[in-house]
């Protein structure tokens, strides 16, 4: 199941979550060294008050330019929330304030539909950038996918984000993909032991 607008063919929406729009942190931080102990990363199902903000960020960043409506994104996220395990959307919150989001779906790379699951729609609020939240969200997705038995995770991003992902342990496996000429990255997941996945 992919996160997609209703009543649209699969070919029209593949890659909609494409390139994450996360400003490179000023200081490289490991996910476990996030200096703010009051930041929680939870499933969107546990923070339904964040649904409208998550939908808005996804719509403005990836879907609006292609003519989709905000309602299309809300419907797609509601479908994700209904799923048992996968797909899923995570949100970073501090004292119930929305800081960022990431989604995992099976197919986000239109030219390579067999490459999945995918990390998609990585977003960190501008005022929260530089705190390591982007990396913490990626780590949380990796842990959850590993716990679900997946061996690898993929993502696609615009070439300007190449250094960001390479510096965080992703391996670039393809480039110039889809209409946005995106790079494709992969990360191997280590089986989960005591709730922790390694890269």
Regarding predicted confidence, which is higher, 28 or 60? 60
| 155, HSE (Cβ side, Cα atoms, 13 Å) | 28
Per-residue pLDDT of 115-154, as tens digits, reads 999 999 999 999 999 999 999 999 999 999 999 999 999 9
pLDDT at 150: 96
pLDDT at 109: 81
Q: What is the pTM of this model?
A: 0.78
Per-residue pLDDT of 36-62, as tens digits, reads 568 999 999 999 999 999 999 999 999
Domains defined for the chain, CATH in brackets:
18-188 (3.40.630.30)
- Residue 156 predicted with pLDDT over 90: yes
């Amino acid at each position: 199941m992919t996160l997609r607008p209703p009543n649209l063919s699969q070919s029209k929406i593949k890659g909609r979550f494409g390139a994450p729009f996360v400003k490179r942190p000023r200081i490289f931080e490991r996910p476990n060294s996030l200096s703010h102990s009051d930041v929680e990363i939870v499933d969107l199902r546990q923070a339904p008050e964040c649904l409208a903000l998550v939908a808005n960020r996804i719509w403005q960043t990836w879907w609006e330019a292609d003519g989709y409506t905000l309602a299309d994104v809300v419907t797609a996220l509601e479908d994700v929330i209904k799923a048992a395990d996968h797909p899923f959307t995570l949100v970073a919150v501090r004292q119930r304030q929305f800081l960022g989001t990431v989604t995992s779906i099976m197919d986000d790379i239109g030219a390579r539909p067999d490459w999945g699951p995918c990390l998609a729609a990585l977003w960190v609020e501008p005022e929260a950038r530089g705190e390591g939240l982007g990396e913490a969200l990626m780590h949380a997705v990796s842990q959850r996918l590993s716990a679900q038995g997946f061996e690898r995770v993929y993502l696609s991003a615009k070439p300007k984000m190449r250094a960001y992902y390479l510096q965080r342990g992703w391996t670039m496996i393809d480039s110039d993909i889809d209409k946005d000429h995106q790079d494709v990255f992969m990360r191997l997941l280590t089986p989960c032991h005591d709730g922790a996945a390694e890269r």
